[in-house]
Chain A
């Protein structure tokens, strides 16, 4: 017998947009009448895209994977990538359109804690009700009751209706019940977003316990720190498909780098521009270290060179080109512009290569690039804009290992040196 506990086989799920938008018998009849007359029904929302002809969208498209006993699988992806749909199917909230999932052992989901809590009932009553909704028997709850109350820390108020609880107490109690459920497979989604720091630490501890006992956890969260800490493997979903299935760190990197991926040679894909007039196109971007080697990993305190290739399809009278570095919260850390302080340059139609020598003193971490070319003769019309491309990682040590960034977490993105003076007071 293998130790595969979840086997997902070619799961697909589609949502029919037409039906979701209607909802009354009248609308359905109108839709049907309109179809019979061969016309388009007239209750599309204004501004809705009618150019795509399909009536449905695939939330999940032919997804297959297996999870082994004891694995902590992180599921990452942008909004709308299909994470929630996958979890909903796994927790049997909705059925797939095709494919099947086989599961060994009890599966419990914490899609949202506190489900089924009734405000009029006391904490004690809610523990029993919520426990039963989550699939525990009365006997099971009774045996764990004290532990649950202990964990939640609301002992004093256990016989008070939960509507009188503070929201923090409410969440703590709810999570305590969920945490004491002992399923073979636990599905967790966004739970850690709530509660204070102390409580979050408690939750993370509990989840570690669960996985430590050889049970399987599926974990979806936007808290990347938590994913990094907890998961042994991650899958990345993009538009309903699995685009990556690997060890957790690279899974996260991939998730974070969802902007524009470039090839090893630095070629920027044709459709990468987030805005373009079609008059210009950034063709490639390459990062080189001081030894003129192509790289995407830089040492701390190491300057580097960025080489760009830009093609103009028309003459641009007053062009400015900008290059920015941003961190993963999409905040700009650094900008260099060619050349906003002097006079913008006149560029003829053709292909140009540009290079920027910079030493922005980036602190350790991961960074994205932003590129833009603008026509200042037309009040700054943007000709081509590429956002969030290429990833560089700045390591916490210098090249010869002589200096190490002393803190575990980077405080900001850029170091600015100050002149310190120290005098002992007399």
Chain B
């Protein structure tokens, strides 16, 4: 038989380091959207408040932080009103940890489907990140509402600068970093379940090392801790763009951007290596 025939599909052992089939992903775009829809619909079936929970959660957390860290611990907020300061930190952090946590169980949680049917495995983390982004979008509007309230009702001067234009970039970096870590961890947990157990508290620890509930300037002589944390410039710059507090750190953003791309690439390599044979190890 001649071998120059056209074949639609060749199934081979795993070969390349990074082999993401983008054409395949594009063909399954409907599935990505349906998964996003499923996540939303299924999550709030048989609840009364439904998607309002997306707003309640950061509201309560903000209130709690304002009482515990603001009133009781009296941590400073760089001159911003406390609710604005905490809310902006919380929604950014939630976005990151949401992207990470929800993609980190990709293989384990979907072993049932993956074991029976082929579709590009990246469909799952991508749809998860999209759902998380939509949640972030809703919470972002909550932040805007708060901002407007403070500007027009409380009459507090908040200087919004042209740095606002960088906000989408900050969000993308945050999402890519969360996704990168998430798929990296999802690949490793197929073999080492310990990582999944470690993850919850590691994230909590990381949050306290990130200026979510305090300004980056708080650390004084331990400033280097803030400097090496790639989350710092994102959250600080986000606050600066939205609230005018803190400072805008261009070098830091570039550092974070490169960091997130490296993390994503490592994650993607691990993911594509894992997806072909993980069914044999779970």
B residues in contact with A102, CB < 8 Å: 7, 9-11
CA distance A23 to B278 in the complex (A): 12
Q: Is the CB of B279 within 8 A of A88?
A: yes
Q: Is the CB of A4 within 8 A of B1?
A: yes
Q: Is the CB of A109 within 8 A of B116?
A: yes
CB of A344, distance to nearest CB on chain B (Å): 53
Q: Is the CB of B31 within 8 A of A133?
A: yes
Q: A95-B11, A95-B13, A112-B116 are in contact. Are A23 and B41 (CB under 8 A)?
A: no
Q: Is the CB of B113 within 8 A of A116?
A: yes
A residues in contact with B280, CB < 8 Å: 15, 20, 94
Q: A103-B10, A105-B8, A121-B41 are in contact. Are A93 and B28 (CB under 8 A)?
A: no
B residues in contact with A19, CB < 8 Å: 191, 281
A residues in contact with B30, CB < 8 Å: 132, 137-138
A288 at the interface (CB under 8 A from B): no
A residues in contact with B14, CB < 8 Å: 95
A154 at the interface (CB under 8 A from B): no
B157 at the interface (CB under 8 A from A): no
CA distance A95 to B16 in the complex (A): 13
Q: A2-B5, A104-B8, A121-B38 are in contact. Are A116 and B117 (CB under 8 A)?
A: yes
Q: Is the CB of B119 within 8 A of A94?
A: no
Q: Contact partner of B119 among A2, A15, A89, A135, CB < 8 A? A: A135
B residues in contact with A2, CB < 8 Å: 1, 5
A120 at the interface (CB under 8 A from B): yes
Q: A100-B10, A132-B30, A132-B34 are in contact. Are A115 and B281 (CB under 8 A)?
A: no
A residues in contact with B37, CB < 8 Å: 125
Tell which of B28, B31, B115, B116 has the most Cβ of chain A within 10 Å.
Answer: B116
**B1-23 vs A, Cβ < 8 Å mask (1 yes, 0 no):** 10001111111111000000000
B192 at the interface (CB under 8 A from A): yes
CA distance A305 to B186 in the complex (A): 66
B11: nearest residue on chain A (CB-CB)? A101
Q: Is the CB of B277 within 8 A of A109?
A: no
Q: A109-B118, A161-B45 are in contact. Are A129 and B34 (CB under 8 A)?
A: yes
CA distance A111 to B112 in the complex (A): 11
Q: A93-B118, A112-B116, A132-B30 are in contact. Are A100 and B41 (CB under 8 A)?
A: no
Q: Is the CB of B42 within 8 A of A121?
A: yes
A98 at the interface (CB under 8 A from B): yes
A169 at the interface (CB under 8 A from B): no
Q: Contact partner of B117 among A15, A111, A161, CB < 8 A? A: A111
Q: Contact partner of B7 among A92, A104, A132, CB < 8 A? A: A104
B residues in contact with A133, CB < 8 Å: 31, 113, 117, 119
CA distance A101 to B13 in the complex (A): 10
Q: Contact partner of A100 among B8, B11, B119, B276, CB < 8 A? A: B11
B255 at the interface (CB under 8 A from A): no
Interface residues on A, range: 35 or more
CB of A86, distance to nearest CB on chain B (Å): 11
CB of A65, distance to nearest CB on chain B (Å): 13
**A123-140 vs B, Cβ < 8 Å mask (1 yes, 0 no):** 001001100111101100
CA distance A100 to B10 in the complex (A): 7
Q: Is the CB of A106 within 8 A of B8?
A: yes
CB of B21, distance to nearest CB on chain A (Å): 11
Q: Is the CB of A92 within 8 A of B34?
A: no
A residues in contact with B69, CB < 8 Å: none
CB of B107, distance to nearest CB on chain A (Å): 13
A25 at the interface (CB under 8 A from B): yes
B118: nearest residue on chain A (CB-CB)? A92
A129: nearest residue on chain B (CB-CB)? B34
B residues in contact with A112, CB < 8 Å: 116
Q: A103-B9, A125-B41 are in contact. Are A91 and B281 (CB under 8 A)?
A: no
B residues in contact with A266, CB < 8 Å: none
Kindly identify, within residues 154 to 208 of chain B, every residue whose CB is under 8 Å from any CB belonging to chain A: 191-194
Q: Is the CB of B116 within 8 A of A111?
A: yes
CA distance A116 to B194 in the complex (A): 27
A1 at the interface (CB under 8 A from B): yes
CB of A114, distance to nearest CB on chain B (Å): 10
A96 at the interface (CB under 8 A from B): yes
Tell which of B5, B8, B194, B280 has the most Cβ of chain A within 10 Å.
Answer: B280
Q: Is the CB of A93 within 8 A of B10?
A: no
CB of B109, distance to nearest CB on chain A (Å): 12
CA distance A102 to B8 in the complex (A): 8
B140 at the interface (CB under 8 A from A): no
A-B contact pairs, 11 of them (CB 8 A): A23-B193, A25-B192, A28-B191, A92-B118, A95-B277, A103-B9, A132-B31, A133-B117, A135-B119, A137-B30, A138-B34
Closest 8 CB pairs of A and B: A92-B118, A95-B276, A132-B31, A101-B11, A102-B7, A103-B9, A111-B116, A120-B42
In the complex, besides A4-B1, A94-B279, A103-B10, 11 extra interface pairs with C-beta distance below 8 angstroms are A7-B1, A23-B193, A23-B281, A88-B115, A91-B117, A100-B12, A103-B11, A104-B9, A111-B116, A120-B42, A125-B41
Interface residues of B (CB under 8 A from A): 1, 5-14, 28, 30-31, 34-35, 37-38, 41-42, 45-46, 112-119, 191-194, 276-277, 279-281
Interface residues of A (CB under 8 A from B): 1-2, 4, 7, 15, 19-20, 23-26, 28, 88-107, 109, 111-112, 115-116, 118, 120-121, 125, 128-129, 132-135, 137-138, 161
